[in-house]
Amino acid sequence: MATHTTDGPELVPPAGRRAAAQAGFTLLEILVVIAILGLLIGLVAPAALRQLSGARTSVARQSIERLGGILDMYKLDTGSYPTSEQGLAALVTKPGDVTGWNGPYVRGTGVPTDAWNHPYVYRFPSTRTGHEYDLCSLGPTGKASSDSDMICNTN
CB distance 137 to 120 below 8 Å: yes
Per the confidence metrics, is the pTM higher than 0.75?
A: no
Question: How many angstroms separate the CA atoms of 132 and 34, rounded?
Answer: 57
Q: How many CB atoms lie within 10 A of CB 140?
A: 15
Q: Does the pLDDT of residue 68 top 90, yes or no?
A: yes
Say which residues have a Cβ less than 8 Å from residue 119's Cβ, sequence separation at least 6: 111, 113
pLDDT digits (tens, 9 = 90+) for 108-155: 878 999 989 999 999 999 988 899 999 999 988 888 766 667 899 987
Domains of the chain: 34-152 (3.30.700.10)
pLDDT of residue 142: 83
pLDDT band at 97 (very low <50, low <70, confident <90, very high): confident
25-29, 41-45, 69-73: range with highest mean pLDDT:
69-73
pLDDT of residue 15: 59
pLDDT of residue 146: 67
CB distance 100 to 81 below 8 Å: no
Amino acid at 152: C
Q: Does the pLDDT of residue 1 top 60, yes or no?
A: no
pLDDT digits (tens, 9 = 90+) for 3-38: 555 565 666 566 555 555 667 889 999 999 999 999
pLDDT of residue 71: 96
Question: How many angstroms separate the CA atoms of 122 and 73, rounded?
Answer: 16
